[in-house]
Amino acid sequence: MSPRAQARLLDRLERQHGRAVRKAFEKAIRELRGNASVAELARLIAARDTAGVLAAIGVGTAVFRDFETEVSRAFEGAGRAFTAMFPKRLRDPRGIRVQFRFDMRHAGAEAWIRHEAAGRVTRIADDQAAAIRSVLEENLARGVSPRTSATRLVGRIDPQTGRRSGGIIGLSGPQTRYLDNARRYLESGDNRYFGLELRDQRLDDDVRAAFSSGRPIAGELRETALDRYSNRMLRHRGETVSRTETLNALRAGKHEAFVQGAETAGVDARHIEREWDASRDSATRETHKAADGQKVTGDAPFIVGGFQMRYPGDSSLGAPVKEIARCRCHEIHRVDWIGQLADG
């Protein structure tokens, strides 16, 4: 299977699974935003019951169960798709045709589901809980009222959609800080607001007029600007999470397929070559450009940015998020099935 064919298959699988992964993530965030009423949250915040706030919102791994399921389906989908591309006429030394099947009960597949898929969901839930705690602490220190603090967590009801808009639920830790900065810029008339890339620029004229008047930004204009900024950051995060997790799952499934295929065919590790293939455009990080063309054999890891990675997107050997998030690199497999290149 040529490198180009491998890349095309991954692209097709990403289109096939990416939408489902994103929809599952967005569904979980809608549930979190809609679980508790503002009045209930305000009561808990007034009592300084942070654990109660987290429980009322429903923060935890359970709400991301569908997301985890879709990520696991992407992993299995890649495993099955690449296994189906293995040679059909390969025979073992006894003359029996080798039967390639992708096994989700294989130790490697089960380990990925247990540690990687479930681990990612745990990290997302933990990050969300940490962001909520941070916002509650900051609001308490600033004397923000419990009801306002509750609204800043889950957002306001949009009269057009009936859903909550704005708030910090679903945002990453850094994004919650960006939203807090945006609030301070608007309240103080700071022109740094116009440097926020994801702001709604349709409101810029109104915001500039308010800044020029020397008066504080009117409450509704400020909250509308913040809601739209939050919503755009949430969409951006949904895109980032779905693309990163879908592609990571697909690359992991592909890697596992070749591991299982080699075991089934009895291929010695020396007959398996793996190559790091970077996209090499303006968005490719320098460490991945440097790794482009790096070749290893068997189960040896790649060295990327000083970190070990079994394949692009792999975090099992300690690679940090900066080497994983939005990575579009591929792993090219070349297998000499039983000492010679197989046809097909």
68-85 mean pLDDT? 96
Q: What is the pLDDT of residues 273-307, one digit of tens each?
A: 999 999 777 789 999 999 999 999 988 999 999 99
Confidence of residue 193 (pLDDT cuts 50, 70, 90): very high
Pairing verdict, β 156-157 and 302-304: unpaired
How far is residue 244 from each of residues 213, 238, 249, 255, measured CA to CA in Å? 44, 10, 9, 16
Cα–Cα distance between 90 and 92 in angstroms, integer?
A: 7
Whole-angstrom Cα Rg for the chain? 24
How confident is residue 337, by pLDDT bands cut at 50, 70 and 90?
confident
Q: What is d(CA 40, CA 147) in angstroms, rounded to the nearest whole number?
A: 9
Q: Are the C-beta atoms of residues 167 and 153 closer than 8 Å to each other?
A: yes
Give yes or no for residue 84 having a pLDDT over 90.
Answer: yes
Q: What is the pLDDT of residue 56?
A: 96
pTM surpassing 0.85?
A: yes
Q: What is the mean pLDDT of residues 319-342?
A: 81
- Average pLDDT of the residues of the chain: 91
- The answer to which of 102-116, 186-200, 218-232, 329-343 has the lowest mean pLDDT is 329-343
Domain boundaries, the chain: 3-266, 267-344
